[in-house]
Structure 1
Amino acid sequence: MDTCSFVKVLREEKRSLMEESRRIFSHFDFLPILVHLMDQDYSIIYANQFLCDNYGMDVIGKKCYEIFENNTKPCDVCYTYSVIKTKKTYRWEWDCVKTNKTYDLYAFPYSDYDGKTMVLEMGFDITERKQIEREMGRLDRLNLIGEMAAGLGHEIRNPMTTVRGLLQLLSEKEECNKYQEYYGIMIEELDRANTIISEFLSLAKNKPTPKNEVNLNKIITSLHPLLQAEAIEYDKTVKLELGELNSLYLNNNEIRQMILNLVKNGLEAMPVNGLLTIKTYETEDKIFLTVQDQGTGIDANIINNLGTPFITTKDNGTGLGLAICYSIAARHNATISVDSSSMGTTFYVEFNKK
């Protein structure tokens, strides 16, 4: 074969390989996952339609860390270089800063039609699964705390009641007058411990919660004078924005307790003259209660653990108030979610209509 014929054959083979490569990659456009091909300098050579829909149509030629992380240099923990170096597949969970989504990410070594080594990455969105896992973990912790509370709460409370009664008797004796200040402190601390135990016992409720058909707006309206009085004490305001709602099967006392806890947290989080808004609205199959404050927001490291006992943003808090809210929501087949920024925090309580 002469040189011209040989070159022609090579060109034909190269063209065939390119066409085959394009054909293979065209199938990725129909997949609901992230798929992209990267060069050794982190430049994106190919991106499937799903990736373009989520991160923009102009990703080709850009660096992956620019597109996904808004960085100007490669990420501190990046497996792209390791894939190229070891020729091995890597798998890890990736939290995308740009979209706040979590992906189960696979990175494969890939040889192009010209023999060049690149990295093919596929990302499966597991955000919802991770949220469910966190919620299940929270419920497991609540159940554990509840079991402990049920077993220990009453046993601890009884001797504390005895000690408190004896302290009151001693404080009334004339010879103990000089110790009045100390008796007051001890009784106050015992009362605080008793309050914490009462909250623990609220978590320990494992009996079926009696429910009646009631309109959520009716519960909120009946609470409004109490909420306003609480707000005035903090030099703040509570506003109601109640939409038309269907009735739900609820335990009136527990829902009142949940609303009071959420409102009190919101009031304490806001500066003077802040506005707290309570809203209700419904969709086709859900009813929503939202409590929105104008505070400074909740730290991202804390937000995923909200509802866990003793996780709190308050200096003297126990975290049990929110834990009780999550426990009440769970007993009503409802869920609580949080949206927080420097402009304030909104708690969403989502009830199923059926």
Structure 2
Amino acid sequence: MKILVTGMAGFIGFHLSLELARRGDEVVGLDCVNDYYDVNLKYARLNELGIKRQNIKENELIKSEKYPNLSFFKANLEDFDTMKKLFEAAKFDVVVNLAAQAGVRYSLINPHAYIDSNITGFVNILECCRHYAVQNLVYASSSSVYGLNENMPFSTHESVNHPISLYAATKKSNELMAHTYSHLFGLPTTGLRFFTVYGPWGRPDMALFLFTDAAVHDKSIDVYNYGKMLRDFTYVGDIVKGVIKCIDNPAGPNPKWNSKVPDPATSSAPYKVYNIGNNSPVELLDYIKAIELRLGKEINKNLMPIQPGDVPATYADVGDLVKDFDYKPNTSVNDGVAKFVDWYLDYYQIKG
């Protein structure tokens, strides 16, 4: 298949593009390579894919030097004219939209960045999929959409009408926008609510990176909610496997859908929402313990109250993944954290 992966220079987009290229799909990656976090890490990911930084030009398709079936296109999702030209020329079979302004806390500081990328950018994706005969759209949602919901484990079959960050609100909006296009234009759309993704090449603004960096440099870390935060930490390799299941199996209408008792996860249109999580919440202090075990040292912790926009716990019901694809993420936190720490030490050339 010919697949567009937006957010190729990002954490999940990099891993997905690599896996798709290795299995033989024709992959085109799109990214604006913004400076929300260290652009050198983003360019290093692209370099792993065979895209050299010095060869990248705005709005120009660059061929990989490692994978003949992979290319990169530097552009903004918000630039509708450029997006239309790309879709018209490329004729994609599938689009995977992973590009977004990420981060819960940053949405309190710079809300407009989330509207530009996550709302305007996403409607541009939908319009291009509609007009250029894309057969399947898979897009990233987030566990943050569950907001004030405390009914564990979180189920896609329950409503999510109480987000507590603008980031979460934009992701919920993406699901609503996708449903509209599925209903009006028959576009198959699958939304994936990712649960706290971690692993090698991870984002520097996320807890695992911050904690490991602090531990290596003998600094203290801020631990929110006094370490009692529960998270359904999900290894990036497991996330990628779930995304590929949805690439290969476009959403279809639910023949049993009842408009009098509407199921939020399905529709009479070709629309579906899944959770992708480890289905096994871990306390934040135990997550930190996994870093300490791998590094053989204790991290000094500043225990802090919960931050605005944060939820105290996440826990994914992945029953639909199991039912539809016979698939369930299964990488343990100790194994996944060790792989991240090994990558971190290698990337920064630190002796572990």
When normalised by structure 2's length, the TM-score is: 0.20
Larger RCO of the pair (alpha carbons < 8 Å, separation 6+): 2
**TM-score, normalising length from structure 1?**
0.20
Question: Hey, which of these two has a bigger chunk of strand by percent?
Answer: 1
Which protein shows a greater Rg? 1
